[in-house]
Amino acid sequence: MGLSFYYAFLVYITAVSAAVGSSFAGSTSTALFPPANATITATDTFFPNASQVGHGGPTPTGDEAAAIATAPAVALVDNVFPLVKPATSDKKPGFDILQHLGNLSPFQSVKSLGLPDASARVPDGCKITQVHLLHRHGARYPTGGSSFAAALHTAATSTGFNTSGPLAFLSTWTYKLGEQTLTPFGRAEMFNLGVGFRVKYGDLLKKATDLPVFRTTSEERMVDSALNFAAGFFGVQSYKDDYHQLIEIDDELGKLNSTLAPWNCPVFHSRVAGFGSAQALKWANIYLVSARERLSPSIQGLVLDIKQLIDMQTLCAYETVALGYSAFCGLFTEEEWKGYEYYVDLHFWYGFGPGAPYASAMGLGWVQELISRLTQTRITNFDSTPVTFPFGQPIYVDATHEIVVSQILTALNFTTLAANGPLPTDRIPPNQTWFANQLVPFGTNLVGQVLSCPASDTPTHIRWILNDAVLHRGIKQRIAEINFEFDCFGNYTTPNPDNIIDGRYPQSAHLM
Ligand SMILES: *[C@@H]1O[C@H](CO)[C@@H](O)[C@H](O)[C@H]1NC(C)=O
Ligand SMILES: *[C@@H]1O[C@H](CO)[C@@H](O)[C@H](O)[C@H]1NC(C)=O
Ligand SMILES: *[C@@H]1O[C@H](CO)[C@@H](O)[C@H](O)[C@H]1NC(C)=O
Ligand SMILES: *[C@@H]1O[C@H](CO)[C@@H](O)[C@H](O)[C@H]1NC(C)=O
Ligand SMILES: *[C@@H]1O[C@H](CO)[C@@H](O)[C@H](O)[C@H]1NC(C)=O
Ligand SMILES: *[C@@H]1O[C@H](CO)[C@@H](O)[C@H](O)[C@H]1NC(C)=O
Ligand SMILES: *[C@@H]1O[C@H](CO)[C@@H](O)[C@H](O)[C@H]1NC(C)=O
């Protein structure tokens, strides 16, 4: 018995090392499970389900929770289990790389967004009457491949390459990432978001007169995120029966209108939209110079350029949320990780935030829907919204992309986030207020609490909580300010970035 177990173990080891030996640095691998051509060897009749087995034990359900009003404090998400936190190359204690990965940061609660003393807890004397949740999907694979992996692969298959020191691991490294879909950790982020939302706001379900409709978009990671949220919120045994899942078509060319995938904005597909990455690249050409000098001597056969170094930092983020750990993280210093975070901040500010002339216009559709739900007035103007959408519910849940969260935050005019004006591309400013890791990490969530103060059934306030931190107010008359036709359909070139801080084309230009 003991011997045969030992033998099986040996066989397993041999198989794995053979697989490693047959691949080479920079090569890619494909999914290993389920095995190709797996055949079912046992029929379902061998596996009766729970109701057939019976003996389920007692099943009385408890009352709904309302922790956002009943608990003295709000629980925060402050760990990233099962990811392993990497150390920087300069081994700075107390510095957490995973909080400096911009939009690729694993979800963690934000301590404060300009209102350090405010709590997300429902204020004493108020009652919550409705809640709106807008959230991003969980951690995913990259949306494209890796340019660094491709370059390494080319080197390996042509001249060959040699590595040493910090880059020695590359001689056996292979690219293991898929594309776009949710990672197992991303699944957990969504399930936990659903559980957390039920514990905080579940009591509102008692006000439902029908099954709620939650929305997402059609991309696989979006549907997967919505289902994992629902599984956490309702429980896997019943979630399919407890709500309706509405799926808006996510048409990346913008041929269809969707408020959760508002790509129907021609300017967004023009050269104007490349401005965000161009601004970010200016900064990368500064903050990564010393990393290039330090790492280049450790590889022969591949000349490292700045874009590849950005890609190596990005691989740290993606490998960590997909594989649990990445050797790329430890190649860079604390300063370089702060530099990377700022690189992403620039990309979002100028590409999808206050510095993008079409950002507010693209967030407008969802804001119009919000106003419609708050005022209980069905939308009659369909310029930027679909014809059907959930209405009259105590709980709304909309899943979207981080780009859209950024655009909606901009459309809602949370001016504290944009307080210190356009971000410089040659340095990190001392009093920055726009941080991608706080605003758009994986699983980012914006909660609108509709409150009645003093407590009654008539709503009097809406309060916004982003990733568990309270935001300064956004404003309703904002809709009238946003010129969707011009900002999305105008034939303009990139405006002077110094003049844009609220995600609209500079206003003096409209008057011309
Ligand atoms: C799976 O089946 C296909 C078609 O029969 C065959 O070409 C392929 O080699 C099989 N793959 C494996 C891993 O057996
Ligand atoms: C259990 O299996 C029976 C027989 O196949 C089926 O009728 C029933 O719907 C199943 N119940 C659940 C909860 O899947
Ligand atoms: C790698 O090292 C080997 C052995 O020293 C050498 O022959 C080869 O030219 C080196 N390759 C590159 C790309 O430097
Ligand atoms: C989508 O939005 C555009 C731009 O506002 C509008 O012209 C068009 O009629 C809308 N299409 C649909 C199908 O609602
Ligand atoms: C931000 O910091 C810069 C440099 O210290 C300073 O000149 C500027 O006035 C500050 N802005 C605000 C709004 O505090
Ligand atoms: C939106 O923000 C801008 C910039 O801070 C401000 O000038 C404008 O008054 C705000 N709009 C509304 C409706 O509050
Ligand atoms: C947009 O403006 C440019 C420069 O003014 C002009 O050459 C081009 O024809 C315009 N395109 C459209 C579609 O109006």
Q: Is 432 in the pocket of ligand 5 (CB under 6 A)?
A: no
CA pair distance 160, 180, nearest whole angstrom:
30
User: Residue 491: what pLDDT?
Assistant: 86
User: Residue 15: what pLDDT?
Assistant: 29
DSSP annotation of 28:
B
Of all atoms in ligand 3, which is nearest to the CA of residue 161? 13
The amino acid occupying position 80 is V
CA of 383 to the centre of ligand 4 (A): 5
Query: Which ligand is in closest contact with the Cα of 30?
Result: 1
CA pair distance 198, 206, nearest whole angstrom:
12
Residue 393 phi, psi (nearest 5) = -105, 150
* Class in CATH terms, 67-499: alpha beta
User: Residue 30: what pLDDT?
Assistant: 62
CA pair distance 70, 51, nearest whole angstrom:
36
* CA dist list (Å): 99 to 189, 344, 402: 15, 12, 16
Residues listed for the chain: 512
Of all atoms in ligand 6, which is nearest to the CA of residue 474? 14
User: Residue 326: what pLDDT?
Assistant: 98
CA of 301 to the centre of ligand 3 (A): 8
Q: Is 37 in the pocket of ligand 1 (CB under 6 A)?
A: yes
Q: Whose C-alpha lies nearest to ligand 1, atom 1? A: 37
Q: Is 49 in the pocket of ligand 2 (CB under 6 A)?
A: yes
Residue 208 corresponds to which tokens in the numbers above? 């439902």
Q: Is 160 in the pocket of ligand 3 (CB under 6 A)?
A: yes
The torsion defined by the Cα of 222, 224, 229 and 233, in degrees rounded to 10, comes to 140
Q: What is the pLDDT along the chain (512 residues), one digit of tens a residue?
A: 333 333 333 333 222 222 233 345 666 666 677 777 777 666 777 888 899 999 999 999 999 999 999 999 999 999 999 999 999 999 888 999 999 999 999 999 999 998 888 999 999 999 999 999 999 999 999 998 899 999 999 999 999 999 999 999 999 999 999 999 999 999 999 999 999 999 999 999 999 999 999 999 999 999 999 999 999 999 999 999 999 999 999 998 988 888 999 999 999 999 899 999 999 999 999 999 999 999 999 999 999 999 999 999 999 999 999 999 999 999 999 999 999 999 999 999 999 999 999 999 999 999 989 988 988 888 766 555 555 678 899 999 999 999 999 999 999 988 789 988 899 999 999 999 999 999 999 999 999 999 998 888 888 888 999 999 999 776 555 667 788 888 998 888 888 888 888 899 987 554 33
Max Cα distance, the chain (Å): 87
Spell out the residues 6+ positions from residue 128 whose beta carbon is closer than 8 angstroms to its own. 66, 68, 69, 122, 201, 204, 449, 450, 451, 452
The amino acid occupying position 485 is E
User: Residue 495: what pLDDT?
Assistant: 85
CA pair distance 510, 496, nearest whole angstrom:
14
* CA dist list (Å): 12 to 5, 26, 38, 140: 11, 24, 19, 30
User: Residue 19: what pLDDT?
Assistant: 27
User: Residue 325: what pLDDT?
Assistant: 97
Contact 119, 73 (CB under 8 A): yes
Contact 89, 330 (CB under 8 A): yes
User: Residue 266: what pLDDT?
Assistant: 94
User: Residue 348: what pLDDT?
Assistant: 98
- Residue ranges per domain, the chain? 67-499
